[in-house]
Structure 1
Amino acid sequence: MSITADSLQSLEAWSKARKTLRPELIAHRRRRSVPLGEHMNLQFEDERTIRYQIQEMLRIEKIFEEEGIQAEIDAYAPLVPDGTNWKATMLLEYPDPHERKRELARLVGVEDRMFVEVEGHARVYAIADEDLERETPEKTSSVHFLRFEFSAAQREAILAGAAVRLGCDHTNYPAHLSLPAETLASLAGDLR
């Protein structure tokens, strides 16, 4: 299902529904969130997380005109997986501002060193920040948008239950882990 203006709730309806939907979405997002090391978190997006984000932006910004609604859809819809990929928001989390400045300078290019490795297949490196460049030669951004594009064989292997690792092979942030079963089950749904 694609996100269209007609498929979104009015501001009034959303205001009423969000109280009951929020706990469900938090649990859904938790299943799809993968911490990698101490300072990186990947939040894998899907139609449900993006629809919620759009509804929240419309509510917060009090957007009710068709043009504004479409602008929000256009901004967020590219983050919905299309059946051949996983899409994630990558957050580099350093609460201390001095440490954040130092580490973001050390992690230039980290978004291009993110990978998914399906058991029995070659690594798939992320295609990062397709909307706009988010780093400078001096530092990377604390937020990146990643797409992991899978071959048909990789998709079939994931759906058949192959083990999957998520990792980063950046010199200054080497980390990897096997995706937990609950997370992998949720992400496999993006490939159907």
Structure 2
Amino acid sequence: MQPTGHIAPDNLLSLEAYSKWRKTHKGEVIAHRQLRSVPLGEHLNLQFESELTIRYQIQEMLRIEKIFEEEGIQQEIEAYAPLVPDGHNWKATVLIEYTDVNERRRELARLIGVEDRLFVEVEGCERVYAIADEDLDRENEHKTSAVHFVRFELTPGMCASVRAGAAVKLGCDHTHYPVHQQIRPETLASLAGDLR
């Protein structure tokens, strides 16, 4: 399951081949995903996607749903492939995590708009705010969703700075969730690999 730069039906594994691949490589994918997960405060977690994480997600959906016909495979690709970064951005799944159901309900009502207040700040550059939920709106006037999909668009200069080793801050300036922190060097090294 090698990255190709483009996920297509002809470069995905068959269900049988994926089942064999999964037995020996699942741990590597989980470690890659953990490396690219950035907790932001106690209740937000950004999981930065890559071709590997999305390829794995598609293969898992095909396996679970036992999808082997081209139309179904194409639908899964169309659902997930837009989450692969394309050389000048980072894309992430944002999880808002509260274990207590009542606290979660209360906080999701307080955090309406939180996905639009997420930012990255490359050392020496302006903040870049997330572009959120481009596929569909995930909140209403009563609450936000516990899951969002965001994209951070970086300028060519920012991409070059990150590849050259600049520090990057991840943050949120929502009224009810102000927090920011440096992205760990090992995570940033993986994210730098997404940029051209």
Q: TM-score range by the shorter chain?
A: over 0.9
TM-score (norm. length: structure 1): 0.99
Match of 1:14 in 2: 18
Match of 1:162 in 2: 166
Match of 1:182 in 2: 186
Q: Counterparts of 1:117-128 in structure 2 under 5 Å?
A: 117-128=121-132
Shift of 1:141: 0.3
Matched, 1:137 2:156: no
Q: Deviations over 1:13-49 (max 9, x none)?
A: 1111101111000111111000011111000001000
SS of the aligned residue for 2:194 comes to helix
Matched, 1:191 2:191: no
| Structure 1 runs of 4+ with >2 Å offset | none
Amino acid paired to 1:54: I
Provide the C-alpha distance between the structure 2 equivalents of 1:89 and 1:133, rounded to a whole number of angstroms. 14
Match of 1:23 in 2: 27
Match of 1:80 in 2: 84
Provide the C-alpha distance between the structure 1 equivalents of 2:44 and 2:23, rounded to a whole number of angstroms. 29
Q: Deviations over 1:63-85 (max 9, x none)?
A: 00000000000000000000010
Q: Deviations over 1:148-175 (max 9, x none)?
A: 0001111111111111000000010011
Q: Counterparts of 1:80-119 in structure 2 under 5 Å?
A: 80-119=84-123
TM-score (norm. length: structure 2): 0.97
> Structure 1 regions of 5+ residues with no counterpart?
none
Aligned residues: 192
> Structure 2 regions of 5+ residues with no counterpart?
none
Q: Deviations over 1:55-103 (max 9, x none)?
A: 0000000000000000000000000000010000000001111111000
Provide the C-alpha distance between the structure 2 equivalents of 1:121 and 1:155, rounded to a whole number of angstroms. 11
Amino acid paired to 1:162: A
Provide the C-alpha distance between the structure 2 equivalents of 1:19 and 1:36, rounded to a whole number of angstroms. 32
Provide the C-alpha distance between the structure 2 equivalents of 1:157 and 1:27, rounded to a whole number of angstroms. 26
Moved more, 9-18 or 100-109: 9-18
Aligned-residue identity in percent: 72
Q: Deviations over 1:92-118 (max 9, x none)?
A: 001111111000000000000000000
Residue 147 (structure 1) aligned to one of 138, 146, 151: 151
Provide the C-alpha distance between the structure 2 equivalents of 1:40 and 1:20, rounded to a whole number of angstroms. 31
Q: What do you get for the CA RMSD once the two structures are aligned?
A: 0.5
Amino acid paired to 1:115: F
